A = this chain, B = another copy of it.
Amino acid sequence: MGKNRKYAVSPKRDENYPEWYQQVIKVSDLAEHSSVRGCMVIKPWGYALWENISRELDDMFKETGVKNAYFPVFIPLSFLEKEAEHIEGFAKECAVVTHHRLEQGDDNKLIPAGKLQEPLIVRPTSETIIGESFSKWISSYRDLPVLINQWANVVRWEMRTRLFLRTSEFLWQEGHTAHSSDIEAIERTNMMLDVYEKMAEQYLAIPVIKGRKTQTERFPGALDTLCIEAMMQDRKALQAGTSHFLGQNFAKASQIKYQSSEEQEEYAWTTSWGVSTRLIGGLIMTHSDDDGLILPPRVASSQVVLMPIIKKEKDKEMVLNYTQKLANEIQDIYYYNRKIRVEIDNRSAASKNWDWIKKGIPIRVEIGPRDIEKNSVFVGTRDKEPNEKTSYLKNEFVSILPELLDNIHNNLFNKALNFRKEHTKLIDNKKEFYNFFTPKHSNEIHGGFALSYWCESQECEAKIKEDLKVTIRAIPLDAKNERGKCIYCNEPSMIRVIFAKAY
């Protein structure tokens, strides 16, 4: 297949990246816009991905002692008013419930009735409502730590939406913990960031940088916001998960107090941390290509598809039986502690090979009468070109399947890591910095991540944002103590930070 071959997705990435993104979601059948403004429908192929991601995360949370619980979807307005900074940052765009009944109007239309004394908002995040519960559950140091997670839908009214990346409703998990010391709470904040890093790198095959947000970019009300940041194929940054050390701010707002072992009344130290269906957006933009979605094997909706190729009716039964037997064999194999997920596509559609390429399944297996004769299978993997297929003896294929999946994972991860390295640059010169973020032609993209010195003033941060739409994505946790000069104002600086355009 030459360089000029046709691709399954139009436009291609380098033609129109945002539109390519929408098309990948469409051809892979992950999700679609609903008729409800800003809300998406997650279709089975997309939801299976979320189920796999959340199952792995859930196990990791539980290993650290976290338990799941569930709190109300509604938050009374008065709760939001408790934490001043929080409300400043959050409460602006949200769904407000004002009535609890519908009545038939004059023209037979339904109209809202039964006005609520106090309006409710649909949770944009649950610190305040969970804080209310914590204040009841906690009275002594013996009750601490409390380690809770919730899997839930949340709503943040968005004017401009993009599937998975920014929707009015999305699915997420939010962890909330309370501790008797700041040290323990900070440890938990870091521990959960490590869990997110593990999810991103070892499951989603997305290399991430662990860092700390600047004050400007922090979660409203937090003392510290840690994050993992990834580079997408358009070289923009995507924040893939955050873990917040909330100090005693929310404990004070919600009156989460406990009697210490010295019989003093103290406010608890709290944390919160979350990832969402946005991870799916990140996964798409990290790996997919001009032929559609590429699913990282360890969370893939399905990992292997078996495609019987039947040209003569007389072969049909034999080929279908062989395929079913192979499927049974495969689904008893474990990969990464889970049974391998296998599909059979019995359709006679000419498009079926390409349908699965577009859907991003890691491994495609063709099984025809001649393969069966030779006891072999014909295998394509999604990290390679569509026509690059290998013939394996069936038994060999079955035995190396976990290895094949691992190879795909590693290829995807290394490709993304190299891409990020290639487009990350140490820049110490202001002009170079401005050039880096200013495409020279209309169809060119900017440079990527700039590692540059910053004097820690909000003013310089704001100016750069104003000039270039570039923000500080993270102060890397592994940043060395260096000395340089702020890329904007030239004043002395101690830290290099990551500047980038971002989702």
Instruction: Give the interface of A toward B (CB within 8 A).
Output: 32, 34-36, 39-44, 47-48, 50-51, 67-77, 80-81, 87, 91-102, 108-110, 112, 114, 119-122, 129, 132-133, 136, 148, 152-153, 155, 157, 169, 171
B148 and A39 within 8 A (CB): no
Instruction: List 9 interface pairs A-B (beta carbons < 8 Å), by A numbering.
Output: A41-B71, A42-B69, A51-B68, A81-B108, A91-B110, A94-B101, A94-B102, A96-B98, A97-B98
Residues on B with beta carbons closer than 8 Å to the beta carbon of A102:
77, 80, 91-92, 94, 96, 121
> Nearest CB to that of A113 among chain B residues?
B96
* Nearest CB of chain B from residue A367's CB, rounded to whole Å: 22
> Is the CB–CB distance between A92 and B101 below 8 Å?
yes
Contacts of A99 in B (CB 8 A): 95-96, 98, 119
Q: A41–B69 contact, CB under 8 A?
A: yes
- CB-nearest residue of chain B relative to A103? B92
Q: Which B residues touch A73, using CB under 8 A?
A: 39, 73, 122, 153, 155, 169
Closest Cβ–Cβ distance, residue A157 to chain B (whole Å): 4
A39-B72 contact given A67-B48, A112-B98, CB 8 Å threshold: yes
Task: Indicate if the CB atoms of B47 and A74 lie closer than 8 Å.
Answer: no
When the two chains form their complex, are residues A95 and B68 in contact, meaning their CB atoms are under 8 A apart? no
Contact A120 B98 (CB under 8 A): no
Select one of B44, B74, B109 contacting A95, CB under 8 A. Answer: B74
| A132 contact set on B, CB distance < 8 A | 34-35
Known contacts A96-B100, A133-B41, A47 near B70 by CB under 8 Å:
yes
Taking a contact as CB atoms under 8 Å apart, the answer to whether B48 and A68 are in contact is yes
Of all chain B residues, which has the CB nearest A132? B35
In the complex, the answer to whether B41 meets A72 with C-beta atoms within 8 Å is yes
Please indicate the chain B residues that have their CB under 8 angstroms from the CB of A136 in the complex. Answer: 32
Task: Report yes or no: B47 in contact with A69, Cβ–Cβ below 8 A.
Answer: yes
Residues of B within 8 A of A44 (CB): 67-69, 148
Question: How many whole Å from A441's CB to the nearest CB in chain B?
Answer: 39
New A-B pairs, 9, CB < 8 Å, besides A44-B69, A73-B122, A102-B121 = A32-B133, A36-B72, A77-B102, A81-B108, A92-B101, A94-B102, A96-B99, A97-B97, A112-B119
Chain B residues whose C-beta falls within 8 Å of the C-beta of A69 in the assembled complex: 41-44, 47
Chain B residue with Cβ nearest A88: B104
Q: Are B39 and A101 in contact (CB under 8 A)?
A: no
Query: Which residues of B sit under 8 angstroms from A76, Cβ to Cβ?
Result: 35-36
Cα separation A155 to B109 with both chains bound (whole Å): 21
Report A56 CB to chain B, min CB distance, Å: 15
CB contacts (< 8 Å) of A129 on chain B: these are: 34, 36
A102–B156 CA distance with the chains assembled, in angstroms: 12
Docked Cα-Cα span, A34 to B100, in Å, equals: 18
- Measured CB to CB, the closest approach of chain B to A136, in angstroms, equals 8
Distance A42 CA – B67 CA, assembled complex (angstroms): 12
- Are B68 and A100 interface neighbours, CB within 8 A? no
- Residue numbers in B under 8 Å from A97 (CB-CB): 95-98, 122
CB nearest to A101 among chain B residues: B93
Closest 6 CB pairs of A and B: A39-B72, A44-B67, A96-B99, A42-B70, A100-B157, A96-B112
The minimal Cβ–Cβ distance linking A164 to chain B, given in whole angstroms, is: 12
**Whole-angstrom CA separation of A257 from B171 in the bound complex:** 30
**Chain B proximity of A208: nearest CB distance (Å):** 25
- In the bound complex, residues from chain B placing their C-beta under 8 Å from that of A94 are 100-102
- Provide the residues of chain B in CB contact with A50, threshold 8 Å: 70
Instruction: Report B-chain residues with C-beta under 8 Å of the C-beta of A95.
Output: 74, 97, 99-100, 120
Residues from chain B with Cβ under 8 Å of A81 in the complex: 108-110
* Distance to closest chain B CB from A82 (angstroms): 11
Instruction: Give the docked Cα–Cα distance between A68 and B120 (Å).
Output: 29
